[in-house]
Every structure is written in C-alpha cells, then in structure tokens.
Amino acid sequence: MDFTHRLLAAQELNGSLLCVGLDPDLTKLPEGFEPRPRDVLAFNRAIIEVTRDLVCAYKPNLAFYESLGRKGWKTLRRTIDLIPEQIPVILDAKRGDIGNTAALYAKALFEELDADAATVNPLMGTDSLEPFLEHPGRGVFVLCLTSNPGSREFQLSNSLHLQIAKAVREKWRRKNSNVGLVVGATHPKELRDIRAICPDQIILIPGVGAQGGALEETIRAGVSHVGPQMIINASRSIIHAGKGKDFAKAARAAAKSLRQEILTCLRQTKSSKRSTPSSKKS
C-alpha cells in the first residue's frame, strides 16, 4: 500500500487529521527523565502509547535525534519501531542536494529507516528531488511555504512559493503520485492560493499550537474539494503539554482536544461551503 492510501486509511481508522511531531526537547523532558538517549526513547514510547488512537501520522524531526550523538540514530530507529504498523511515519529531514548525495539521503530515509514519507527542500531543483521521487509508494513532502518568521525573506519573494506549488502539480507528481507540500499554518492567505494551484495534493501543515497558526482559518484555506487532503501537525504543544509525572496524561488530553478542534473546524467549513449562495439552486 502506498503512502497516500496508508494515510487515508489511518485518518479513517482514528477519525483524525492530527499528526504528532516526535521532537523531544532535552531541556523540557518531564520530571524523572534525563537528557540521554534511553530516556528520550522512554519518553517517546509513552507519547506514542497515549496518542496512537488519536493520530493519522507521526513526524519525528531528525535534528532531535542527530543531536544525541552516535546513539541518536539508534534511538530514532527504535522510536519508529514503536509506532503501530497502521500509522504512517513522516521523517522531517528537509533534505535536498545534488543527485548522488540526494540518492544516499533517500536511501537512508526510505530504506534504512523505512519511513513512509519524508520532507524535502526543492531549492536545488528537480534533479535534487528525483532520487526521492523514484522510491515507489513513498511520500515526498516538498517545502513550499514554511511556518517560521524568516519564511517571508525568500519564499514569498517573487512568489517563489507559487512557483514551487506549480512544479509539484505540473512536474513532480507525474513522477510520483504521492508528492505533497509543506505549508505553514501561519500563512492562511497564501495557503488558499497554493490550494488553488494544487487542488488535490496532500498538504502537511505545521505551525498550529506553539507557533500560533489559526486553526479554523487554516482549515478553511486548505481543505480540498476531494476531501480534507490535509495533515495538521503539532509537536511541542502536545508532547510537552505536561512536565510532571502525569506528562503522558497531559499529552493525551492535548492531542484529544486538538483532534476534536480540527474535526469541528472541518465540519463547520463543509457546512459553510454547502450553504453559500453559489452552491444553492436558483
């Protein structure tokens, strides 16, 4: 089963568009945990156990594991092994380099770590993405407009984000039907423009929660005519929701609340679109 079908199956199974980012901050680990690989693994295990029925995907960011030194890669590998088979794994790696180097990055993410999908940086052009696109059935999320403040410096300059969206639609999805985009929730107006260009691609949306993205506005802008076609990611606001011994309980409560809020906004958006004058018979 390819990434898109695995994702849609997980969304249906758990009634969720929520993706939890497994990005453990060593300075924010709860009481009783030390900043070391084995404790990071134990922390991840607890988060997965209490959210596995609430999510459609998990997204570990490689930086949080690479920073652990030589044991970090093993910690990431074991974290992936803890994720239930029915829940896809998106590795947030933001890779992008010349062909032979990109091929090794793709091999590491898709073959060695067995990720279902990965994020990539398109700045170096099509040849830097092709090694990722050539892995059948694997998802490739192309950075289009990120959620950080600095995204305005270059990504919105000369409408670069729209050029990337057009490349996804016109070129890259022809090589791999599992190509999607990354668009931050901090840019709802631009998200609407990107959705108009890519009407049925899956959009991975970070920036809700700690980064302050407006959820309702984001869902209104990003929903597709063929279904939601969205993944709403949250990391810090969920995994570090609690700092005491009940951190797992706090994480579950935060995930459950956000999942429900997403579904409520989605229902309201669908209802609003059905009731607009243009949708009524004259």
Distance, in Å, from the CA atom of 270 to the CA atom of 101, rounded to the nearest integer, reads 44
Beta carbons of 250 and 242 less than 8 angstroms apart: yes
> Which among 104, 179, 93, 101 has a CA at the least distance from the CA of 136?
179
Greatest pairwise CA separation for the chain in angstroms:
67
Residue 94 known to be catalytic: yes
Catalytic residue among 94, 166, 175, 256: 94
Q: Which residues of 128-150 are buried (b: 16+ CB within 10 A; e: fewer)?
A: bbbbbbebebbbbbbbbbbbeee
39 sits in which H/E element: helix 37-51
Distance, in Å, from the CA atom of 3 to the CA atom of 185, rounded to the nearest integer, reads 23
In the three-class reduction of DSSP (H, G, I as helix; E, B as strand; rest coil), residue 92 is classed as strand
Burial of 230 (0-12, 13-18, 19+ CB in 10 A): buried
Phi first, then psi, for residue 243 (nearest 5°) are -115, -10
Active site residues: 94
